[in-house]
Chain A
């Protein structure tokens, strides 16, 4: 394999260029989260507690918004694995944040079916409205804008996910209004998944 002479090696392009987690404040689960953790661990064989690492990290994220080195230490101790084992997982999966994110994490699906229906323009409109580039958080800490890969709602393209909720068929011209609505109404401004909406409507 010959390396193309004009192809500059661009370190920022690689995932390996990520930074280490910040230390953060001391971390321990709240009593409620600890109880939930204990419940989750029971799903797996006793000598396979490590299986609970993803749910355990979700609990961390729901408690303090993002994952810090102290949280990693806590999870590692509870599961009886090394910090490196947990760090390994945190750095692999895209749904774990290692930096503070906005109150609303707006994730635009950019993969083919959404892109064919205008997802690129949705991202453009959102970026212009929020004054940030994808990957950034606005100065007030309200919005984080991200581009993500296929969300599995291709029949309702373009789809965006805000925190854990969906907003379907977001037209580029409606993107700016959605931002305003999120500011005033919060997550109730979202359409949700149409299947959920149909279920709760009746």
Chain B
């Protein structure tokens, strides 16, 4: 991301100071009213805080958009200990917002963890960070040490009698660890494979204890709600889609990066305004609005409001707000092949339809892309997709077939051209000069 650009529909809140050199230090954070929300929170009753988060309408920023206040309310308060597991796995292709927050504003996350723990009555929060983010982990560990040293974490925080520990836990390269129950399995020292739901983590979570699993950006919004009030937060953005939102724009745009806006913003403003539009001389072909797992939107849908509900109405999902922009040099069969390579590799192997099916789909797509496909392969793709979606423990199965079903829906003619011409007809400069073999 380049220098912070002027945000048009709201002043940045989450990323206000990210361009300043010392924004990651505790001293800087304290100069900018850091940890004052924690002080306020500790004067309230935990239930009041949960009500406040509910009233703010904060929805989970990890992908599902589930109301955070509800999630916290569901945490079984009769069982203890309880835990917060912060999901910093950030591995949905196209997503890089939490990286920025953790790297440049780590104390906001720590404050969010502490308030969250107080609200649900937990004493420990684990931040599960993906293994590839070692440099980010270093920043967070330093910030955690600073917070302990100044009494914002540890025993008897700010004289309130509330104890809270925050620990880092490093993953080791597994997309599936971003799924909430798989994350808990991984945290318990096992393979990152999902559990059956229900019971949900709020009742049976980490070590079989009630656990709230929250995304980094979600927890970062909590101190803001406490500081500015639930009404202020809810009013920022359309109804039921309140609060500041980070958008990750990447792919074929001039200025890829993280942009903060309220959810009043449209896809067109994000792509053509904030991110500078597609490179000169190229035309927009399609947009993936919420990470690789969601259906694509077409250029005539650019004026869709980029909110959870707006995108859903347009037939896709906001997901993790990872907007991947595709211009007219993109072959859609290649795109599906690229993403299925990802899903085939990342399938955790627990459910047969997903483990076997992603492999079959990938092989068929590779065959079509190389010009060795047959017309009946298209029906086969549909059939395999239908037999994976909804037939797995977690949402991975649905996610994995989406690139196939959505490209078949909008760009069936490209598949047919590959089969007819026996080759890929779009050879863009950014593609490999010869087909890259399977590895």
Contact = CB atoms under 8 A, between A and B. Distances in A.
A154 B104 CA distance: 17
Indicate the size class of the contact surface on chain A.
35 or more
Interface in B158-190: 165, 167, 169-175, 186-190
Contact of A1 (B174, B187, B383): B383
Interface string A171-195: 0000000000000000000001111
A135 B93 contact: no
Interface centre among B188, B341, B436 (most CB of A within 10 A): B436
Interface stretch (B231-239, B356-364, B394-402, B418-426): B356-364
A120 B385 CA distance: 27
Nearest to A88: B191
B58 interface: no
A58 B129 CA distance: 14
B360 A51 contact: no
A123 B436 contact: yes
Contacts of A161: 132
A151 B136 CA distance: 13
Given A7-B360, A43-B167, A57 B172 contact: yes
Contacts of B5: none
Given A93-B172, A110-B341, A164-B134, A152 B96 contact: yes
B152 to A, nearest CB: 18
A51 B360 CA distance: 34
A112 B95 CA distance: 11
B131 A196 contact: no
A111 interface: yes
Indicate the size class of the contact surface on chain B.
35 or more
Contacts of B382: none
A154 B349 contact: no
B24 A113 contact: no
A78 interface: no
Nearest to A107: B132
B130 A149 contact: no
A120 B93 contact: no
Contacts of A10: 363
A139 B353 CA distance: 40
Given A120-B430, A149-B91, 20 more contacts: A4-B360, A43-B126, A51-B188, A54-B169, A81-B189, A93-B173, A95-B132, A95-B172, A111-B338, A116-B330, A117-B430, A120-B432, A120-B436, A147-B439, A151-B132, A152-B133, A154-B95, A154-B250, A165-B135, A195-B99
Interface of A: 1, 4, 7, 10, 13-15, 43, 45, 48, 50-55, 57-58, 79, 81, 85, 88-89, 92-96, 110-113, 115-118, 120-121, 123-124, 133-135, 147-157, 161, 164-166, 192-196, 198-199, 202
13 contacts: A1-B383, A4-B360, A51-B188, A85-B189, A85-B190, A94-B174, A95-B173, A111-B339, A124-B433, A147-B439, A149-B342, A155-B256, A157-B256
